[in-house]
């Protein structure tokens, strides 16, 4: 089963020896000077070597910190990005024991062939090429044994260390170190949950089924369980190696990469957070193959809408709109200094727009926002860090594959396609139907809800009210529900009509329908307001 780490439940007795070991390593690498201020920080290379010496958990923690350009200077980020994700391979007997325990049968009964040499050996798992008994060519991802105990001990030690440091140096509270540790533990829980990864693969295959130049290997469910994930084998070549041999086709591959990234983000609320060269292959027929869905992110619909507004505002250089859209993506907090945040974002947009639009980096723009937010009390959500990381990696890949490729042209072309699809007649019909169902449900539930509210009033502290008073209250509630329902219906007409009047579909019968819907909604709201005013005035006279 997946590793489940809770940093708030610390086993100090078990973590104490590991904590002492960590402190010795930090002291040897002059790491404790951090507590005395930035002037006493160890060199960036020393920091990287410290994480490497501390082992698997801290390798992953260093990789997470490499996403936090809002907290660390660029020199440290650049060094932490060099932390490799490769570890010595497990022996075949350890792999065999894990596979047989998880799948409940001897390895020789499960597979006709199973390569003893792994294709890759990373911090969490390693991958072996195999053939099932029925002849399917597969890749078997096997999790390293003992991860749960190792990671939970390290997280307990790390959380204890953070609590100790914050207690001794209160000025470090602004860094939200406990939150960073908690989010790191959650990321490890996600990355070690192979059942979650299997579900992500299914979701991505469904979301990208209409992308003709992409193939995602499917999960082989009967050979997957807990710490073993078996997938179809992708017989492709790394995209960077393929680009050297086929430079004339790489522009098409880049456009496909941009399309799959934006389509999953804005249509499905999913994104691959680790699209590096090792996870993107090119098949012999020229299609791209996307691998490794252990690190993915999810965005709900409100966050996707805010992200759309944010990108639009960044491109336009509108600091106030950028600030509002950015704050809509983050948890509400009274600590935020809005005036200072607006000034910092205005300065960041000025730097961004000093270059030509073709040279604008979405990843760098997001990093600038994250820095500005952290300086002014914003608690940035983990999804935003993952999304920023995804764009930074994607843009770096594109630049290395083809330095002359106009990334923003590909980006704008895909955004235009998604916008047209978003405002298509089918999508408007879908949203209108959904709104109509919600309105119908509100209308049908209103009488019952009103009776339940009145019954609770009568049975509670308001039970001493006389019947006429309660009836009057019920009447007011019913009238307010009627007004709310009418307002929703007329507002839906105005919104739907306005969408039909927007480009790129300002033509034909849809334009006429849009005008009619908008006018009907406005007239309906006006009649409702006038009627409400007359009824209220009549009741006041009575």
- Report, as residue numbers or ranges, the catalytic residues: 274
- Residues counted in the chain: 542
Q: Which of 80, 189, 79, 179 is closest to 124 using CA atoms? A: 189
Tokens representing 414 are 């895909």
- Kindly give the interhelix angle for 56-65 and 44-54, rounded to the nearest 10 degrees: 140
The residues, ordered by sequence, that sit 6+ positions from 512 with a Cβ below 8 Å of its Cβ are none
Say how many CA atoms lie within 13 Å of 293 toward its Cβ: 24
3-state SS class at 248: coil
Cα 460 from Cα 453, distance rounded (Å): 11
Cα 391 from Cα 196, distance rounded (Å): 23
Dihedral (Cα; 372, 373, 376, 378), 10-degree rounding: 180
Q: Which of 246, 259, 248, 244 is closest to 213 using CA atoms? A: 259
Q: Are 105 and 133 in contact (CB under 8 A)?
A: no
Cα 30 from Cα 50, distance rounded (Å): 10
Upstream peptide bond of 326 is cis (omega within 30 degrees of 0): no
């Amino acid at each position: 089963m997946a590793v489940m780490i809770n940093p708030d439940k610390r086993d100090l007795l078990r973590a104490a020896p590991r904590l002492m070991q960590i402190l010795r390593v930090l002291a040897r690498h002059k790491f404790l000077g951090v507590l005395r201020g930035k002037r006493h920080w160890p060199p960036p290379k020393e920091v990287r070597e410290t994480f490497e010496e501390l082992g698997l958990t801290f390798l992953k923690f260093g990789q997470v910190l490499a996403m936090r350009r809002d907290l660390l200077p660029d020199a440290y980020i650049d060094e932490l990005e060099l932390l490799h994700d490769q570890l010595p391979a497990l022996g075949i007997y350890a792999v065999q024991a894990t596979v047989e325990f998880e799948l409940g049968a001897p390895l020789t009964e499960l597979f006709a062939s199973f390569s003893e040499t792994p294709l890759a050996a990373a911090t969490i798992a390693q991958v072996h090429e195999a053939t099932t008994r029925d002849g399917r060519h597969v890749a078997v991802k096997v999790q390293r044994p003992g991860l749960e105990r190792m990671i939970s001990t390290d997280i307990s030690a790390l959380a204890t260390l953070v609590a100790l440091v914050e207690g001794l140096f209160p000025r470090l509270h602004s860094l939200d170190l406990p939150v960073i540790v908690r989010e790191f533990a959650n990321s490890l829980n996600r990355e070690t949950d192979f059942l979650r990864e299997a579900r992500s693969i299914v979701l991505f295959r469904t979301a990208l089924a209409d992308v003709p130049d992409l193939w995602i290997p499917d999960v082989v469910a009967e050979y997957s369980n807990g710490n073993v994930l078996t997938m179809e084998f992708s017989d492709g070549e790394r995209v960077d190696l393929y680009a050297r041999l086929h430079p004339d086709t790489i522009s098409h591959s880049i456009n496909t990469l941009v399309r799959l990234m934006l389509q999953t983000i804005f249509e499905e609320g999913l994104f691959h957070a680790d699209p590096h060269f090792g996870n993107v292959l090119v098949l012999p027929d020229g299609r791209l193959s996307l691998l490794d869905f252990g690190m993915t992110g999810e965005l709900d619909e409100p966050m996707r809408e805010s992200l759309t507004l944010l990108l639009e505002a960044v491109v336009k250089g509108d600091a106030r709109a950028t600030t509002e859209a950015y704050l809509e993506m983050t948890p509400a907090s009274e600590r935020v200094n809005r005036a200072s945040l607006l000034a910092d974002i205005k300065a960041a947009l000025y730097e961004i727009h000093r270059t030509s639009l073709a040279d604008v980096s979405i990843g760098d723009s997001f990093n600038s926002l994250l820095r500005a937010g952290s300086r002014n009390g914003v608690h940035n959500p983990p999804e935003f860090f993952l999304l920023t990381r995804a764009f930074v990696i994607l843009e770096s890949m594109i630049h290395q594959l083809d330095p002359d490729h106009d990334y923003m042209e590909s980006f704008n072309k895909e955004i235009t396609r998604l916008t047209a699809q978003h405002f298509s007649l089918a999508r408007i019909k879908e949203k209108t139907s959904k709104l109509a169902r919600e309105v119908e449900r509100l209308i049908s539930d209103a009488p019952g809800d009103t009776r339940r509210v009145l019954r609770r009033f009568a049975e509670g502290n308001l039970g001493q009210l006389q019947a006429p008073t309660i009836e009057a209250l019920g009447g007011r509630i019913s009238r307010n529900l009627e007004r709310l329902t009418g307002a929703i219906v007329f507002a839906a007409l105005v919104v739907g009509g306005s969408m039909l009047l927007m480009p790129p579909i300002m033509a034909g019968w849809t334009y006429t329908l849009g005008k009619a819907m908008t006018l009907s909604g406005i007239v309906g709201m006006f009649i409702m307001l006038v009627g409400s005013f007359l009824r209220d005035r009549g009741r006041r006279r009575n």
